[in-house]
Amino acid sequence: MATEKHRRPPQVSTASHSLTPELIRAIRYREQIWDILLSLERDKRDLYHFRSIFDIRIFFDFRDIMPPEVKASYRSMLDLPGVLEWDEGGTENHMFMQRVSDLALMDGSGWAVGDPATAATNEAWLRMRCAHATRSELNKWLTIGQGEFHSSTYYGYSIGGLLNLYDFAKPRVSIGL
């Protein structure tokens, strides 16, 4: 039996028993996740519409524990020329995903935007979409969808962009919703 002098403090004993193989794998997995995000940004600079709704949620949910280099990659999305990617066109659901998620990042991050015209364009696009949310527009959505083949499949993606804005933007932008 260990003498009082050789006993470990309870905190040390608890910590060493807490480092289970599962916890060690989880820590390594988290580091791998950050590496994957960085490699995605490095290898595929294009902001793909379907990626944007998840990228923005990842940023806001985990920015407090993100490594500095991952946070810097998000910051670069608002610098020129990266910020111009947010203004790409596409079908309606693509624009909801990308443009509205962009507004959430621009507004909620507090970072300066490398091209203020992109922010203004995307905000104007959203305000126009909300202003035209009349009864006939709602009926169109509920009967034929967003105007593309199997469009109801994409409702969740469009709504994902709006949820990013609602969850993460300051009231200045989301007030129009």
Residue whose structure tokens are 């790409």:
88
DSSP 147: S
Report yes or no: 93 and 141 within 8 Å, Cβ to Cβ. Answer: no
24-59 pLDDT, tens digit each:
666 666 778 888 888 877 777 666 667 888 888 989
* Cα 13 from Cα 45, distance rounded (Å): 46
pLDDT digits (tens, 9 = 90+) for 58-116: 899 889 888 999 999 889 888 988 888 877 777 777 888 888 888 888 888 989 989 88
- Tens digit of pLDDT for each residue in 110-139? 899 898 888 888 888 787 777 665 566 667
Q: Is the pTM above the cut of 0.85? A: no
Report pLDDT for 101. 86
Q: Where are the domains of the chain?
A: 16-174
76-84 long-range Cβ contacts below 8 angstroms, 24+ apart: 76/41, 77/47, 77/105, 78/105, 78/106, 78/109, 78/111, 78/112, 78/113, 78/114, 79/114, 80/114, 80/115, 82/45, 82/47, 82/114, 83/113, 83/114, 83/115, 83/118, 84/115, 84/118
